[in-house]
Amino acid sequence: MNWRNVNKLSEGVYWVGARDWNRRLFDALIPLPKGTSYNAYLVVGEEKKALIDTVNPGFETELEEKIRKIMDPAEIDYLVMNHAEPDHAGAIPFVTGLSDKARLVATEKGVKMSQVFYNVPGEKAKAVRDGETIDLGGKTLRFIEAPMLHWPETMFTYLEEDGILFPCDFFGSHLAKATYDDEVEDLLVDAQRYWGEIMMPFSGMAKRSLDKIKDLKINMIAPSHGPIYRSPQRIRNAYSKWANGETKQKAIIIYVSMWKSTEKMVQVMSDTLSSEGIEIALYNLASSDLGDLAKDLVDSRAIVLGAPTVLGGAHPLAVYATYLVKALKPPLKYAAVLSSYGWGGVVSRQVQETLGSSKIEIIGALEVNGPPKEGDISRIVELGRALAGKIKAG
């Protein structure tokens, strides 16, 4: 008995993906507290059939069983690869093994990557140009190049008759549960976290791709992770805001403390900013979730980094966090550094060296020997007020 569940998005369009409830880490870096899904879609035209993306290795049989609920996989004509990363393309060799006639469809770069990653022979692949279409018979697939969302070869597929956009990673969220957006109360929070982790470093490319699709009639956005948006305007608005780097009167405070001296400095800063009306997101690196931190980097205007010295330099957790902040390219405008040291202050120099080439303006750095004293606290309050002034000025 084939007990697998498939979801019908519209006539001839089906979700045949997999839910990975137990996955807890992506890229050996990103925490997935809610698991994720690998959404694959079957589009059945009057003459031809296309599978859009596949699934993560380990879910091949599930994909096959779901396709079999609709049709014989041997009848797949086109295997659209929007993105070559293995969580979506890892089952390509399996699918081509099910259908001799399946031809891989990807951007030119994607075709090359399919050869390198999945040994797809050149004659079995079709490179499509930006705007090119394939007619399946009453179902027309249009391909839209969208490089760096998330790799250089990425593209979107747009199903013209139904107004469904298949953007692969773009517009995704790491959630195993729910088929549609309206089934998740706080989906935008998950989507923001995902943007911070995956798309924020490519904001410029995201903006260009959003411009490209701005006049498309989109009834549904069917990404390859997380729920499908059947009310797509809300996520389109959010993406427009994030891609444009819109920030709030908000500061993210990221710190680590060994003997509570740096923590005390951070508390003074946090209270000062709060009293100035600045929204705060505060993370102790010893116990924080990296995804939560990425989420709050998306719309914070300023960052406060707090770290003690250890082993002759900034605490390694702070070094790691500073590097990540730089790599994720958040739209931060201002920064402040707070540090307590035992016998030599080096943290502000290290932070400045790491953030030096970014556009973040460091408003001030305070390094205190041992626990902060009354005079130090006054200086932190002063720095906090100056930072609040900058944040409020925009």
Q: Which of 23, 66, 103, 150 binds ligand FEO (CB under 6 A)?
A: 150
For ligand FEO, the nearest residue by Cβ is 85
Distance CA 95, CA 79 (A): 8
Could you say whether residue 88 binds ligand FEO (CB under 6 A)? yes
The interface with ligand FEO within residues 361-390 (CB under 6 A) comprises: none
What is the DSSP code string of 322-353?
A: HHHHHHH-----EEEEEEEESS---HHHHHHH
Nearest to 13 by CA among 143, 146, 160: 160
Q: Which of 20, 53, 64, 87 binds ligand FEO (CB under 6 A)?
A: 87
Assigned token pair, 385: 């007020």
Give the strand pairing for 140-145 and 133-135: antiparallel
Q: Which of 19, 23, 49, 83 binds ligand FEO (CB under 6 A)?
A: 83
Q: How far is the CB of 151 from ligand FEO (least distance, A)?
A: 6
Q: Which of 85, 162, 296, 367 binds ligand FEO (CB under 6 A)?
A: 85
Give the strand pairing for 7-10 and 25-26: unpaired
- Is residue 7 exposed (0-12), middle (13-18) or buried (19+ Cβ within 10 Å)? middle
Contact 20, 56 (CB under 8 A): yes
Stretch of 41-49, 80-88, 229-237, 336-344 lying at the interface with ligand FEO (CB under 6 A): 80-88
Nearest to 87 by CA among 33, 23, 42: 23
Identity of the residue, 94 or 202, whose beta carbon is nearer to ligand FEO in the bound complex: 202
Q: How far is the CB of 27 from ligand FEO (least distance, A)?
A: 9
The interface with ligand FEO within residues 17-36 (CB under 6 A) comprises: none
Identity of the residue, 24 or 392, whose beta carbon is nearer to ligand FEO in the bound complex: 24
Could you say whether residue 225 binds ligand FEO (CB under 6 A)? yes
Q: How far is the CB of 346 from ligand FEO (least distance, A)?
A: 37
Stretch of 9-17, 79-87, 214-222, 284-292 lying at the interface with ligand FEO (CB under 6 A): 79-87
Q: How far is the CB of 223 from ligand FEO (least distance, A)?
A: 9
Q: What are phi and psi of 361, to 5 degrees?
A: -90, 120
Site size for ligand FEO, by CB under 6 A? 8
Could you say whether residue 174 binds ligand FEO (CB under 6 A)? no
Between vectors from CA 118 to CA 113 and to CA 121, what angle results, nearest 5°?
80
Stretch of 83-91, 227-235, 332-340, 383-391 lying at the interface with ligand FEO (CB under 6 A): 83-91
Q: How far is the CB of 294 from ligand FEO (least distance, A)?
A: 15
Identity of the residue, 202 or 242, whose beta carbon is nearer to ligand FEO in the bound complex: 202
Q: How far is the CB of 378 from ligand FEO (least distance, A)?
A: 48
Could you say whether residue 103 binds ligand FEO (CB under 6 A)? no
Query: 257-260, long-range: CB within 8 Å, 24+ apart, which pairs?
Result: 257/284, 257/306, 257/308, 257/340, 258/308, 258/310, 258/315, 259/308, 259/340, 259/371, 260/371
What is the DSSP code string of 193-260?
A: HHIIIIIGGGHHHHHHHHHHTTTS--SEE--SSS-BBSSTHHHHHHHHHHHTT---SEEEEEE--SSS
Contact 32, 23 (CB under 8 A): yes
* Chain residues in the site for ligand FEO (CB under 6 A): 83, 85, 87-88, 150, 169, 224-225
